Structure 1
């Protein structure tokens, strides 16, 4: 009877992991639709190609070496096996941990849940470099980012390893529940490095420093992408509880879902209000980024705040992201979708508010963790981007950028009937 209970717990936690992983995978569709909606129609096919290709690249590289770097083990997932041995090991672990112990689930489900996080990190980079980067240069960087850069910083945080063998972030009080820093800020740091080497889109900034808006071609698509991301985030944060097979874990999951939704709502409201104050009108793109900012902010600690605190955190994040987007534009950092602000600036904010509701975390630890993640990812990415630039180049030619990446990189158009 006891074995049957443990088997049920194992099956339930594994199934929960897989469902949450599928929700996070669906976020790839959200990023794709959001980015495709916020760029010009002449770049749509390239955006779609890039987002699906980066997901495939991330899955493959994380299988080959990323997972082993981050958590230890054999390359190519050769240590993940099934059969009677796995059943016996699982039952033994369940008996040792009991219903109040650590999670017990299939190693394959753990890989699946982790790999979709890697793809999410890389998707953040995609939006920031949109409309002027070569497709194959981007995908080459994706190989490095998902195979080495992200897994290494992940090994220092979720993997529990010392940073270059010197110090342990966990011992310093660093906590990042689902990845405001580990996933989101890391993606933004890589994006910033690429954008600095890439430069702004042609026509974005005038000769006297004036900022010229470049409207997206399909705002309904962008809104759909945001709602898909909002939904997928329940898997992102909820799955990070890592367990469902007992009352305490089930309550924690429910609270994480509640706070995730509350923060997104607060972020949308905050961005809508500050945009109305600044621009005098409701700005849809700022509203969308505000919702995403609320989600990024609560990701670092969605289990300990009250629903009201989560809403307030999200509201502040919504205000921050609007101000950050405007500030980056003033210093001529061209980010077509606001990814650096949403995931980088607000990702840092999310890390810094963790100690407010989680006494196990410290401000010193959060700052140390944030600095470690940013410096490593930014410097490593800058080197990788620079090498790619020297070898094959990063940027489309001026003519190709004018004609659009769709024809130059993919040889087709998203809406051919409109150009005939």
Structure 2
């Protein structure tokens, strides 16, 4: 009887102790403020990263809609291939080249040419920097920016460039050219030390893609029949403006991650408020760019031009990317509107120079990117117009020389341009043997 009573008493004591044990375990695993900041900032990078990843679909749809029907499949293949190649080569070389740490010495440069690495599973045995984000989230976020740069080049050179030479250029751009110049600002390099301001990449991303596209378009030459000897420009209407419009909306959506994620931290109430401010300014600039082109094309051509309005919205987005935090809503609207106006005048200017840009990537990403980088001085007191201009020129000179050299080497070895017969037939059948719209007449 005493033994039974003792057993029951022990069981009761154990049951009473269980909640206390659970509370003790819970207390041991309660995250610190540093843990919470690390978690939220890493989560922000991941969400922003997949929004920017979805911009790859936007570029694909925009380009598919603005090229002729006989070249749609080629553009789709180029866009999925360039993202895949960027993912691999930014991992193999680009990421560590972009963030060389404190080592742009001889040994540091050699060490930078190495593969990116992630934290161990569950952070087992690791001592992460809890003041920032996980390496995996940062790597993914930076990767999608790199891939976006290559997407800019794809559309400008459409309808006459071979597939494999273009992909070869993509490898060099994403593995070396983009990471090197990005390290000068975002990797703590000399442009950053000078005080260069480029919040999310009007220059570091967009003008880099624009310079590479401009250099390639000049070396490649215009499409057959685009420019007559008497100076007339032959319009080549896109195959599907519904797709082009869808692509623009996808890019607009992705830009919230592009600019919002570039706040880099979501560990305080102030940072969250700033991210919401960035979203609002980004949207205002895009809307103003679209409206400005809508009105301006109506005034200039007596009819509004949908393709210009699409590019006007994108130009507004590019324009606000260099500084989406500091402007008021009104200032963001004006910055975006100027970007849209730039597109309306830049597109015919390129045609006069006989530079054939199929989708308008050069006016949108290069010209509006330059404007957006300069516009920083109007809203950010820490920005210097001299430093902004020097940085624009430095990045531009480097990308033109580097990409020009790569284009010329590829042209001399692999060849850049398809044959006249292939161009007239369309790259879908000539290069790939398949069509995007096989049941329709390929005009």
TM bucket, shorter chain: over 0.9
Change in Cα spacing, 1:84 to 1:234, as seen in structure 2 (3 Å) is closer
Change in Cα spacing, 1:342 to 1:87, as seen in structure 2 (3 Å) is farther
Q: In the alignment, what sits opposite 2:107? A: none
1:293, 1:46 → 2: CA distance?
A: 25
**Corresponding residue to 1:129 among 157, 160, 178:** 157
**Corresponding residue to 1:191 among 186, 206, 213:** 213
Q: In the alignment, what sits opposite 1:50? A: 78
2:362, 2:125 → 1: CA distance?
A: 44
Q: Which has the larger radius of gyration?
A: 2
- What TM-score do the two structures reach when normalised by structure 2? 0.89
Does residue 258 of the first structure (1) align with residue 284 of the second (2)? no
1:68, 1:105 → 2: CA distance?
A: 16
Q: In the alignment, what sits opposite 1:100? A: none
Does residue 297 of the first structure (1) align with residue 319 of the second (2)? yes
Alignment of 1:167-246 (within 5 A): 168-246=190-268
Q: In the alignment, what sits opposite 1:80? A: 118
2:181, 2:402 → 1: CA distance?
A: 11
Does residue 158 of the first structure (1) align with residue 186 of the second (2)? yes
Change in Cα spacing, 1:84 to 1:28, as seen in structure 2 (3 Å) is closer
Q: In the alignment, what sits opposite 1:113? A: 141
Q: Which moved more, 1:255-264 or 1:313-322?
A: 313-322
Q: Deviations over 1:209-229 (max 9, x none)?
A: 111111001000000000000
Report the secondary structure of 2:390's partner residue: helix
**Unpaired runs of at least 5, structure 2:** 1-26, 101-110
Q: Deviations over 1:134-185 (max 9, x none)?
A: 0111000001100111111011111112xxxxxx212322110000000000
Deviation (angstroms), 1:354? 0.3
Q: In the alignment, what sits opposite 1:350? A: 372
Change in Cα spacing, 1:363 to 1:4, as seen in structure 2 (3 Å) is same
- What TM-score do the two structures reach when normalised by structure 1? 0.93
Report the secondary structure of 1:133's partner residue: coil
1:362, 1:340 → 2: CA distance?
A: 25
Does residue 405 of the first structure (1) align with residue 433 of the second (2)? no
Q: Which moved more, 1:355-364 or 1:224-233?
A: 355-364
**Unpaired runs of at least 5, structure 1:** 98-103, 162-167
Q: In the alignment, what sits opposite 1:164? A: none
Deviation (angstroms), 1:322? 0.8
Change in Cα spacing, 1:78 to 1:362, as seen in structure 2 (3 Å) is closer
Q: Deviations over 1:220-260 (max 9, x none)?
A: 00000000000000000000001112111001100000000
Deviation (angstroms), 1:74? 6.0
Deviation (angstroms), 1:114? 0.3
Q: In the alignment, what sits opposite 2:11? A: none
**Corresponding residue to 1:140 among 164, 168, 172:** 168
Deviation (angstroms), 1:69? 0.7
1:11, 1:352 → 2: CA distance?
A: 35
Does residue 362 of the first structure (1) align with residue 384 of the second (2)? yes
Deviation (angstroms), 1:9? 1.8
1:119, 1:88 → 2: CA distance?
A: 29
Q: Deviations over 1:85-134 (max 9, x none)?
A: 667623xx44xx5xxxxxx1100110000000011000000010000000
Is residue 173–residue 364 contact of structure 1 (8 Å, CA) maintained in 2? no
